[in-house]
Chains A and B, each alone.
Chain A
Amino acid sequence: MRLTELPIGSIARISSIEDSPYKEKLKEMGCIPGVLVKPIMKAPFGDPIAFELEEYTLSMRKNEAYSIQVNLLNPLFNS
């Protein structure tokens, strides 16, 4: 599933990132396959979205988040 499909508060693990001009930047900022990610809030109008990454909070537009494939963890892990 894509990062944009995650409900706020759920935890997922990044599985892959599609090729795009910003793939490099996403990786630089810590979006690497295997990393845990949790959407925490959306800006007014629902875009951009802020995600908690392992060490910090990263915001990105829906467009960028759409290029990130994630695996939703078992709902029991979510908080």
Chain B
Amino acid sequence: MDNKSSKIVLVGNPNCGKSSLFNNLTKLKQKITNVPGTTIENKVGTVTQGKHKIQLIDTPGTYSFNPKSLDEKEAIRVFFEDPSPDTILYIADASNLKRNLFYFSQLAQHGTPMILALNMIDIADFKGFEIDVERLEKELGIRVFKINARTGEGVSTLKKALFQDQFVPHYTFGSENDHTHESHYDSITKLLNKTTKIKTKRELTTSKIDAFATHPILGYLIFLLVLLFIFQSVFTLASYPMDWIENGFGMLGEYLTETLPDGWVKKLIIHGLLAGIAGVVVFVPQIAILFFFMSLLEDTGYMARVSFIMDKMLRGLGLSGKSVVPLLSGAACAIPAIMSTRNIENWKDRLITIMVTPLMSCSARLPVYTLLISMAIPNTPVLGFVSLQALVMLSMYVLGTVAALVAAIVFKWAIKYTIPSYFIMELPVYHSPRWGNIWVNCWQKSRSFVTEAGKIILIISVVLWFLASYGPTTDQSFSIQESATLEQSYAGHFGKAIEPSISPIGFDWKIGIALITSFAAREVFVGTMSTIYSVGDEENFDQLREKMKKDRHKSGEPVYSLAVILSLMVFYAFAMQCMSTLAVVYKETRSWKWPAIQFVYMTALAYFGSWVVFNVFS
């Protein structure tokens, strides 16, 4: 262009940010509002770049070249003035391009050079519109710029272009003798199809899935089905590797029994160390499978929806939507579950979640329930497809969950904390699982179970072996195969000592020993019973069950009556019998106060629950 200042007219639809752009280009103060028609008359400003000057004329927002109001008449008058404008700077709302290009399509036939400024690019982006500016320039034959008049983004590039060569649009809107609205809109649609895309395909899938996942009825139903599927898988899939592990340790034990020289070292290795390691490793399949599903749900984005739909209900219980993951993980193992409460921001919500999570039926309770249920409950089918045993097992899970929720209400009421709870959480886009992440997560959690809980279980197993093998009566050479001597051991003395306090809930001194040793970890119960009833193979349920069933009190009544078994199950459902969990709670709350409270309330709940059950059934 030559040095002479030229005349550019700024046009566009109402509310497309024209006044903002005008102010920005001319630095002229002018009121900007959302109300159409505030630009009553055409305003003139000057755009300067160095010594070059351009006259810029602002016009009222107009929808078409067929003016309907006084404002619009004013707006188009500028085209008939002398000298007529050299260039039309057309500003369009990029988030509403189709309608905005209609007036453009009418102006484009006048043979006047044009520049197209696409404004509100941020809103267009927000709506997922992708505009191919280069393609648009090629199709229209003029220069096109993306700007954000509100923030001033892209305005300086546009300003430079005002001082450069301008072009006349060569795209044909409508046809030679057809300039109806329909034909123009048709051309605009064709143009936009070539130059714009809506990138909502991914989001569309997500909102489609969300319509089901967060549905007021279907949402909860789907969640319930997902849970049932997971627990079913955990029990059926895990049973195979668990059998292999048990058999493997059984064979190793036999091999060691044959090869090792007799003596206390042999007993320590086989009955202390090996039994302890087996007790830990046998749970790895269940824990790994449960963590696999938990990671899968989190990784695909579904878990966030569960938190989203559960938040309102859990809020009433003093928890939050974010408590869902810890509570569900608690069904595998309370240790990683409590560690996963770290993303709950509110201290009270988090504390309550930590305090009640151990009431969820963790996998360590499983072998206890399995043994006890097989002793007391017949395997009769109910409704044709579920066994009564499975139903009782399920009710133990329900019992734990209900206890956790009720305990939460009590804590909500008891803990005074004034900072309000909140729930601010991302809902990620659904995507197919990243298997790598899931395996790593699964591996790390299983490993942390083996190392964190395993260490303690191992130590306690050895200590237990010592206590059960040695007694205060200097006789240190007795065989642990005879339960008569167990009675004389330290463990027997402890059991006898606490017998008066546990007899109201139906337990004798042998169960007392198991309760003490179970403080290490619940599953130690089975091992302790095996030791007490001199069952060689640690995991031989059938043999152990038969021996326990035959055990009688001096009066001739069975030790394990239905009342005692149910009482025991309730006790194991509620009691805080997991040193590792208490250690983790201490680490997470940085105080011994909370693990102490947890231990006391859970033990009290267990004692009370067992007392009620024992008295109801006996």
Contact code string B209-224 (vs A, CB < 8 Å = 1, else 0): 0100011100110000
* A43-B214, A47-B312, A48-B308 as given contacts; A29 in contact with B419, CB under 8 Å: no
What chain A residues lie within 8 Å of B236 (beta carbons)? none
Partner of B96 from A25, A48, A54, A76 at Cβ < 8 Å = A76
A38 touches B126 (CB 8 A): yes
CB distance from B456 to the nearest CB of A (A): 36
Q: Which residue of A lies closest to B422 (CB)?
A: A22
B96 touches A44 (CB 8 A): no
Contact code string B297-327 (vs A, CB < 8 Å = 1, else 0): 0000000100011011001000001000000
A76 touches B15 (CB 8 A): yes
* Stretch in B424-432, B523-531, B541-549 touching the partner: B424-432
What chain B residues lie within 8 Å of A50 (beta carbons)? 214, 308, 427
Partner of B427 from A20, A45, A47, A57 at Cβ < 8 Å = A57
CA distance A47 to B311 in the complex (A): 8
What chain B residues lie within 8 Å of A74 (beta carbons)? 15, 34
A56 touches B422 (CB 8 A): no
What chain B residues lie within 8 Å of A38 (beta carbons)? 126
A44 touches B123 (CB 8 A): no
Partner of B419 from A11, A21, A47 at Cβ < 8 Å = A21
Contact code string B109-135 (vs A, CB < 8 Å = 1, else 0): 000000000001011011100000000
B422 touches A36 (CB 8 A): no
Interface flag for A15 (CB, 8 Å): no
CA distance A29 to B428 in the complex (A): 13
CB distance from A34 to the nearest CB of B (A): 8
Other than the given A25-B424, A29-B426, A59-B425, 7 more pairs (CB < 8 A) read A11-B127, A21-B422, A40-B207, A44-B214, A54-B125, A63-B422, A77-B95
What chain A residues lie within 8 Å of B127 (beta carbons)? 11, 79
Interface size for A (C-beta < 8 A) is: 32
Count of CB-CB pairs between chains A and B under 8 Å: 100
Interface flag for A73 (CB, 8 Å): yes
A57 touches B426 (CB 8 A): yes
What chain B residues lie within 8 Å of A61 (beta carbons)? 311, 315, 422-424
Point out which of A29, A54, A74 has the most chain B C-beta atoms below 10 A from its C-beta: A74
CA distance A52 to B14 in the complex (A): 27
B126 touches A36 (CB 8 A): yes
Interface flag for A41 (CB, 8 Å): yes
Q: Which residue of B lies closest to A49 (CB)?
A: B308
Q: Which residue of A lies closest to B200 (CB)?
A: A79
Partner of A63 from B123, B304, B420 at Cβ < 8 Å = B420
B423 touches A60 (CB 8 A): yes
CB distance from A55 to the nearest CB of B (A): 9
A48 touches B423 (CB 8 A): yes
CB distance from A47 to the nearest CB of B (A): 5
CA distance A56 to B93 in the complex (A): 23
Point out which of A38, A48, A54 has the most chain B C-beta atoms below 10 A from its C-beta: A48
Q: Give 9 CB contacts A-B under 8 Å.
A: A21-B419, A25-B422, A36-B123, A45-B312, A57-B427, A61-B424, A76-B96, A76-B99, A77-B120
Partner of B126 from A11, A43, A45, A64 at Cβ < 8 Å = A11
B339-383 at interface with A (beta carbon < 8 Å): 345
Residues of B within 8 A of A (CB): 15, 34, 93, 95-96, 99, 120, 122-123, 125-127, 206-207, 210, 214-216, 219-220, 304, 308-309, 311-312, 315, 321, 345, 419-420, 422-429
What chain A residues lie within 8 Å of B15 (beta carbons)? 74, 76
Partner of A44 from B120, B122, B219, B420 at Cβ < 8 Å = B219
CA distance A50 to B617 in the complex (A): 50
CA distance A79 to B425 in the complex (A): 24
CB distance from B303 to the nearest CB of A (A): 13
CA distance A8 to B574 in the complex (A): 45
Q: Which residue of A lies closest to B100 (CB)?
A: A76
CA distance A77 to B517 in the complex (A): 68
The SS class assigned to the A binding surface is mixed
A59 touches B427 (CB 8 A): yes
CB distance from B491 to the nearest CB of A (A): 52
CA distance A77 to B368 in the complex (A): 62
CB distance from A37 to the nearest CB of B (A): 9
CA distance A38 to B95 in the complex (A): 14
CA distance A76 to B14 in the complex (A): 11
A21 touches B126 (CB 8 A): no
Partner of A59 from B207, B420, B423 at Cβ < 8 Å = B423
A43 touches B423 (CB 8 A): no
Q: Which residue of B lies closest to A36 (CB)?
A: B126
B309 touches A44 (CB 8 A): yes
* A43-B308, A77-B120 as given contacts; A56 in contact with B428, CB under 8 Å: yes
What chain A residues lie within 8 Å of B345 (beta carbons)? 22, 25
* A21-B420, A77-B95 as given contacts; A56 in contact with B126, CB under 8 Å: no
A44 touches B424 (CB 8 A): no
Q: Which residue of A lies closest to B320 (CB)?
A: A61
* A43-B214, A47-B312 as given contacts; A11 in contact with B123, CB under 8 Å: yes
Q: Which residue of A lies closest to B15 (CB)?
A: A74
CB distance from A22 to the nearest CB of B (A): 4
Point out which of B122, B126, B219 has the most chain A C-beta atoms below 10 A from its C-beta: B126
CA distance A54 to B29 in the complex (A): 30
What chain A residues lie within 8 Å of B207 (beta carbons)? 40-41
Interface flag for A26 (CB, 8 Å): yes
A77 touches B216 (CB 8 A): no
Point out which of A41, A59, A64, A76 has the most chain B C-beta atoms below 10 A from its C-beta: A59
What chain A residues lie within 8 Å of B312 (beta carbons)? 43-45, 47-48
CB distance from B216 to the nearest CB of A (A): 4
CB distance from A77 to the nearest CB of B (A): 6
Partner of A77 from B123, B206, B308, B311 at Cβ < 8 Å = B123
CA distance A69 to B51 in the complex (A): 45
A8-46 at interface with B (beta carbon < 8 Å): 11, 20-22, 25-26, 29, 36, 38, 40-41, 43-45
* A58-B425, A60-B424, A74-B34 as given contacts; A41 in contact with B214, CB under 8 Å: yes
